[in-house]
A and B are shown apart, each in its own frame.
Chain A
Amino acid sequence: MTNGTQAPDMAPPVRGRSLWQDALRRLSHNRAAVAAVVVLALVVLLAVVGPWIAPHAYDELYFDHVAIGPDLDAGFLFGTDTVGRDLFVRTLMGARISILVALAATSVSLLIGILYGAIAGFVGGRVDNLMMRFVDIMYALPFMFFVIILMVVFGRNIVLMFLALGAVEWLTMARIVRGQTLTLKNREFVEAAVASGVTRPRIILRHIIPNLLGPVAVYITLTIPQVILVESFLSFLGLGVQEPLTSLGVLISEGADEMETAPWMLIFPATVLATMLFCFNFIGDGVRDALDPKDR
């Protein structure tokens, strides 16, 4: 009848290359993105294991080494702060907390945002209208104000901060996901699934969400640095994590106060923060290009 009909059935199945594998391959050809991934991985690795293996503890006070500059002989790679704590280990600790906050808040926003947006978009009609008006109202609230009030009322609490940030970030995620879902819903393969007798929840899980993940991945690379920045800002205002714990924002805030007398206190944490943000930017660009090669 046609080519291939007589093919022996025993032939072993050929492995396919999914769109994700394709994207990964393209990403691995993007030098800037690969470099960013490597640098970021190093920073994260240091932030995770650094505080354990560093010679000093992050909350240990060295009264004879108060506010000294970088001093390798004394074992203070980044110098010390105004109460004599090792800035190197504190910077790593700060990076660790910042990353943790970012991951937690982004996960919360992902979980709520994807489900909320996908349901609103797929169900459509009045449900969609109601759900999205709620998002609009939340948007209209001055969110910094909202977070600050939470912090003031319930005290400075890192878990609360995760939740507050996540609860704010999901709004944008939900909007993006809903928009994508609306387009996906009208794609023929979703209609094909309905015609195949697939139930609605299953269509959302099997067809809508996997096809959403591209734009969502891009948005994640934007959300993480944003959360890090917001956390830094809150800490800068004195609403972030509590002493002796620290975050990059707290360190930068402290450093800014001592900018003239102890510039290293600002320079090192700020450099780490800037490096991380740059990396996320390059990765974000890389992911976007890799997922949509025609877009360039």
Chain B
Amino acid sequence: MSDVLLDVADLKVHFPIPTGGLIGGRTRWLKAVDGVSFSVKRGETLGIVGESGCGKSTLGRAILRLIAPSAGRVLWLGQDLSGLSQEEMRRHRREMQIIFQDPLASLDPRMTVGDIIAEPLTALEPDLPKAEIKERVRSMMSKVGLLPEMINRYPHEFSGGQYQRIGVARAMIVRPALIVCDEPVSALDVSIQAQIVNLLMDLQAEFGLTLLFISHDLSVVRHISHRILVLYLGRVMELADRDSLYREARHPYTRALISAVPVPDPLIERSKRIEFLSGDLPSPIDPPSGCVFRTRCPHANDLCAAKVPDLEPVGTDHQVACHRWREIG
């Protein structure tokens, strides 16, 4: 399987939480990501969905080693990245980039847009002549829909949608194979969201990009993704190709999520049945035993409390982690 770009195996990120008591207080662990496995093929978009705090961002950052994983492996074209030193990892950064949720916060306010976009180039290819860098920045700017003559402007002189274009240009300038998009359109106005989604899809088509598209918006994810991974409390609940996930979701959590998304059509929206979830997301410090979803699951039984469900195949390219998916139908 040569077309697998990224292979994540049993990845864990546990944060130490200091608990009260100066002396003797034992460290507790917040399991932000707890044993996630999946692989991504070249040119594919994998959507990662789930409620806030379920570990989506942490997962994306751990893959890029912006956060150190606690366990597990990240294979990039078959090479294990997890053992690499900071410096070795740094050299891999030209292959994998990231776009952030808050586009303005991710831009250094004291740098010109040209310098911001050029940064990965200047950092990773220090021998490139200045003129060449400038040329590449200008052409990337027009590629993402920014006026190249704005190259000497500062971030605060742009508006919402344009910030994110700057972020996209910075990620694209080294022509990476993979971009982790962490909620790239969540902070944008509806009319601008569509522009950025289109831009990402255009870039993907032109350069064969692979995208990890993290979002809590299941409508956008449906539009942009080929496959979708549903995360809950740091664990994979369901992993499927787009059509089977939206047509026949197997996991009770996925179903609840999908049913709760408002549809901009009064007739449909008012007649549809929503599967309400009881209660709130439990703390990732003390996740429920067995199936982490069981405290909110309408189908939970004793087995769910006793045993962690494995991710099992339910069809071609469709996996679910639920003891009772067969009964639920």
Contacts and interface: CB of A to CB of B under 8 A. Distances in A.
Query: So, do A and B actually touch in the complex, CB under 8 Å?
Result: yes
Nearest to A11: B149
B110 A210 contact: yes
Nearest to A202: B123
Interface string B48-71: 000000000000010010100000
Interface in A1-19: 1-5, 7, 9, 11-19
A200 to B, nearest CB: 8
Interface residues of B, number: 44
B153 A16 contact: yes
A19 B156 contact: yes
Dominant SS among interface residues on chain A: loop
B241 interface: no
Given A192-B170, A199-B90, A18 B119 contact: no
A198 interface: yes
Interface in B66-80: 66
A242 to B, nearest CB: 44
B76 to A, nearest CB: 15
Instruction: Identify the interface centre among B100, B102, B123: most chain A CB within 10 Å of its CB.
Output: B123
Given A3-B145, A211-B110, A195 B153 contact: no
A2 B146 CA distance: 9
A82 B123 CA distance: 66
Given A9-B142, A19-B110, A189-B107, A196 B148 contact: no
A197 interface: yes
Contact of B106 (A18, A191, A202): A191
Given A189-B108, A193-B119, A14 B149 contact: yes
Given A18-B110, A19-B154, A202-B123, A197 B90 contact: yes
Interface string A77-91: 000000000000000
A207 interface: yes
Contact of B66 (A189, A195, A202): A195
A187 interface: yes
A140 B146 CA distance: 54
Contacts of A210: 108, 110-111
A194 B92 CA distance: 12
Contacts of A64: none
Instruction: Identify the interface centre among B94, B153, B195: most chain A CB within 10 Å of its CB.
Output: B153
Given A189-B108, A195-B93, A202-B123, A7 B64 contact: no
A5 B98 contact: no
Contacts of B153: 14, 16-17
Contacts of B154: 16-19
A188 interface: yes
B102 A188 contact: yes
Nearest to B173: A196
Interface string B121-145: 0011000000000000010001001
B119 A198 contact: yes
A193 B98 CA distance: 10
Interface in A85-131: none
A18 B113 CA distance: 11
Contacts of B145: 1-5
Instruction: Identify the interface centre among A4, A18, A194, A197: most chain B CB within 10 Å of its CB.
Output: A197
B146 A4 contact: yes
A199 B120 CA distance: 11
B91 A196 contact: no
Instruction: Identify the interface centre among B108, B113, B123, B167: most chain A CB within 10 Å of its CB.
Output: B108
A194 B97 CA distance: 10
Interface of A: 1-5, 7, 9, 11-20, 187-189, 191-199, 202, 206-207, 210-211
Given A192-B106, A196-B170, 12 more contacts: A5-B142, A11-B148, A16-B154, A18-B154, A189-B106, A191-B66, A195-B93, A196-B123, A197-B120, A197-B123, A206-B108, A210-B110
6 contacts: A1-B198, A2-B195, A7-B142, A187-B105, A189-B106, A196-B97
